[in-house]
Amino acid sequence: MIVATRYAMLKRLGKYIAIRGTAILVTTIIAIYIVIFIANMGGFVDEIIKSEIQFGVYEAIRNNPAYRGMNKSVIELIARDMIEMEIKRIGLDKPFIYRSFNYLIDALTLNLGRAIRITSASGSRQVRIIILERLPASILLFTTIQIMLFFSSLVTGLYLSRRYGSKIDKIIVALSPLSSMPGWFYGLFLIMIFASWLGILPYGGLVDAPPPEHPLLYALSVLKHMVLPMMSWFIAYFAINTYSMRTFFLMFSSEDYVELAKAKGVPAREIERRYILRPTLPPIVTQLALLLISSWMGAIVTENIFNWPGIGTLIWMAIANNDSPVLIGIVTIYAYLLAITVLLLDIIYVLIDPRIKIGGVGTS
Amino acid sequence: MIKQLTAFARELLIYRSALVGIIIITSLILLSLYAVITVPYEEIVRKWNSIEIWEDFPRNAMPSWINIFTHRKLPETIILDSRRKELGINKTIITIASGKYILRILFTFNYIYDDFPSEIILRLYSNTTKQTTTQITWIKPGEIEYILGRKLLRGYESYYVSSDEEFLKKFNANLISKLGSKPNYDLSVNIALFAKEDPSILSRDTVEVSKGEYRVIVDALIGEEDLGRAQVDAKLVVYGKVYGVAGTDHRRRDLALALIWGAPIALAFGLVASITITFAQMFIAAISAWYGKSLDFVIQRITEIFMVLPFLPILLMISYFYKITIWTLLAVVILLSIFGSGVKNYRAMFLQIKEIPYIEAAIAYGTSSLRIVFRYMIPKILPTIIPTIVLSVPDFVFLEAVLALLGVGDPRAVTWGRVLEDAAREAALYKGYYYWILEPSILLLLTALGFALLGLTLDKILNPRLREM
């Protein structure tokens, strides 16, 4: 009897995962294709590359003494041949629509290819190496910021939900309009105060120049450079995050089962842990997971303002240099990570939350 | 209806934050109206991007009101133009020999500031193409006289007094013979022409402005035949270090212009984007929830695709590749956002509303689907989303600033973001031009705060579920 229901449940779960997985996969593929299309300007980037090839070939012929003194029309023929060969070698001789699907397959198989102009610090053109080189900087700064923001506002929010209406609570509520301005905006003011005026913290960058030799000093220097960006995000987002966490916990703490537990005389700490925190766990986990996934993308503007060598600056460099492979690479990895996370969260929800039933009515 | 509105307004004004928000937004709207009514936008764009219009403005000057707060008074710009009759500039003709005349232009001005000017330029104009010899004499208070130079004038000549190395050499030699030593720093022409010539000039820390009446004489040598016909004119500009209410930028442009004109653009951009996007999302969500089935499926999948697309990189790409104007940009922002995550939230609300009995009643007496969507469902959630509209205005104002700051905004537009970008590109923070960053920032800050304060209060009133929390 029990085995039968378990089997039926597993079957339903399998079907559910298959359907969700397919839907997410299709969504991801379409999104990546749109990015490929836009990043190539619908094929316009190819025209730019073609004209560059042409220029390169004529330049090479002009600088090659072997061709000097030859008939103009002969040279023209040779040049045309060389251009055609080069175009074929890169694969630009086929129509864009055809190639765009090749790009899509390459992207989906994570065959990220070579950048057009951007090189890594070590001189490599491999998109994979370029991204991997930038990744630690973004993760170091933004994942740290997000984790610190998340947990500090979680703890403060929980604390405030117990004593809402208190003075600290009112201060947090009053400070929440600060979030109407983005983090980078506070960065401008902080640079002005701490770097330009007081001169105690650096304007930006990852580490002092020249970088300190000793690893400990190096770490301290990096830490010093992280202070201002972190502060700017805290000013912008701490109050609003705490405010929404607190409201969220307040809503759950007015549920009937919490009232019942209180009436039964369950200790306050126990109520908090088992009756409030536990059912709110799934949305909180979702939020954290999505934050962490998006944090590695860096932040384009904040990285720009603080001159931080992360993924955000790389995205901006790729756009400014028409370097579509780099851009497509970043977006593809992001889309994949997002898709996997969403699917995993869906499965975890079904497994841990008894209130979610599979195969029920509703399409969401 | 009116009664309801006044009651609502009264409730709103109980909250001090709403009052502050309304005051800020109203002032911004008044400022925008002033901008739009006084000068047409095209005119402003042309003016802002021109170079000639600004030639008599100081470069990187701070706002004038700085002088109220500082002990050391910074100089204003002094413009003396012999072509402008109202300035009463003395123009005389002196006979020096038979058939030789000098046309003398005499500029007189009082210099009473505590700091040296930022630049000095003398522009000479003559109406003949024949060469005219001119000589410029600079007389400091105390009758200290310097011959600045002789110029051959043909048509138009601009003489950058500030970068006259010849004069500087002579001046230094003169100082050595007068005071026995040379200044211990790189003396600039601006300082040389305005400093007190006593031992204080030898150190950068003690050098002082010699206050009083300055005279600049422009002599042009003309022959008999040109007497009465030759017109020689001169314009002396002693550029100050402060200008107007907002100061100037690196291209001498008056920042006040961009700050005032940035207001209507910021408001229009923010309001149009947030209202259009919210209503479009709501409409799509209502259709999706009401019709359900395959339409719902398609809309939900499209929404998910748009949620995977990274918004800012895509927007940056489009505006970088196509060099679009600010209004096209607005359209792109709207298009990229109408299938945003808002659709999911509103759909969830509509799915609940769909089950409310009055909808069932409407179906029962044969109301059309579109009527149900527009007249029964959307009005039901309208009050709850008004705060969202107000609160999301700053997001779009900042979005425009972000694009400008990253250098992909409309290059001709006159916006706060463009001012910020210029400042950032010219490293205003390193050079200490704080006003340049602070002015647009404070306007952005005020806009954001105004809408945030009003929006949060509206949220408290219109979503009473959260009110007691």
Where do the domains of chain B lie? 2-48+253-468, 72-239
The model carries a pTM of 0.86
Min Cα separation B309/chain A (Å):
6
Interface residue of A36, A108, A181 to substitute, partner B, most B CBs within 10 Å: A181
Query: In whole angstroms, what is the distance from residue A179 CA to residue A175 CA?
Result: 8
Chain A, residues 21-60, CB within 8 A of chain B, namely: 23-24, 26-28, 30-31, 34-35, 38-39, 41, 44
Residue of A nearest to B392 (CA): A180
The pLDDT assigned to B467 comes to 46
Identity of the residue in A26, A191, A331 whose CB atom sits nearest the CB atom of B313? A331
pLDDT tens-digit map of B334-387? 999 999 888 988 998 898 888 888 888 988 888 888 898 888 888 888 888 899
Average pLDDT, chain A: 85
Quick one: pLDDT at residue A271? 83
Average pLDDT, rounded, for chain B: 88
With a CB-CB cutoff of 8 Å, which residues 336-355 of chain B face chain A?
Answer: 344, 347-348, 351
pLDDT for B206 equals 87
pLDDT of residue B469: 42
Closest CA in chain A for residue B21? A177
Question: Is A1's pLDDT higher than 60?
Answer: no
CB within 8 Å: A339 and B308: yes
Q: Which CATH number fits domain B72-239: 1.10.287, 2.80.10, 2.30.29, 2.60.120?
A: 2.60.120
Token pair 């000097």: residue: A68
pLDDT > 80? residue A147? yes
Q: What is residue B26's predicted lDDT score, i.e. its pLDDT?
A: 95
Look at B313 and A335 and tell me if their CB atoms are within 8 Å: no
Q: What is the pLDDT of residue B466?
A: 52
Residue of B nearest to A163 (CA): B469
Please tell me if residue B304 touches chain A, with a CB cutoff of 8 Å. yes
Q: What is the mean pLDDT of residues B162-166?
A: 88
Residues in B touching A188 (Cβ below 8 Å): 420, 429, 437, 441
- The ipTM, to two decimals, is 0.83
Give yes or no for residue A230 having a pLDDT over 90. Answer: yes
pLDDT classification of B280: cutoffs 50, 70, 90? very high
% of residues, chain A, pLDDT over 90 = 22
B302: contact with A, CB 8 A cutoff: no
pLDDT at B444 over 80: yes
- Contact between B333 and B396 (Cβ < 8 Å): yes
Whether residue A179 and residue B308 make contact (CB cut-off 8 A), yes or no, is no
- The minimal CB distance from A334 to the residues B296, B310, B432 is found for B310
Q: Do A181 and B391 touch (CB under 8 A)?
A: no
CB-nearest to B429 from A191, A247, A339 is: A191
A104 touches chain B (CB under 8 A): no
Option in A196, A319, A322 nearest B430 (CB): A196
Chain A residues inside the 8 Å CB shell of B408: 319
Q: Does B107 touch chain A (CB under 8 A)?
A: no
pLDDT in tens, A155-188: 999 888 888 788 888 898 888 888 889 999 999 9
pLDDT score of B399: 92
**Helix B311-322 × helix A2-39 angle, to 10°:** 20
Mean pLDDT of A186-213: 89
Higher pLDDT pick, A226 / A252? A226
- % residues pLDDT > 70 (chain A): 95
Q: List pLDDT tens digits, range A69-111.
A: 777 788 888 888 888 888 887 777 778 888 888 888 888 888 8
Q: How far is A80 from chain B (nearest CA, A)?
A: 29
Interface touch B317/A364, C-beta < 8 Å: no
Helix (H, G, I), strand (E, B) or coil at A212: coil
**pLDDT, tens only, A258-315:** 888 888 888 888 888 888 887 788 788 888 888 888 888 878 999 999 999 999 999 9
Residue of A nearest to B452 (CA): A177
Strands B144-153 and B100-111: what pairing?
unpaired
Does the pLDDT at position B468 exceed 70?
no
pLDDT of residue B319: 85
Residue A3 has pLDDT above 70, yes or no: no
CATH homologous superfamily for the domain B2-48+253-468: MetI-like (1.10.3720.10)
Is residue A360 over pLDDT 50?
no
pLDDT band (50, 70, 90) for residue B287 = very high
- Distance between B246 CA and the closest CA of chain A, angstroms: 18
Lowest-confidence region among B220-229, B418-427, B438-447:
B220-229
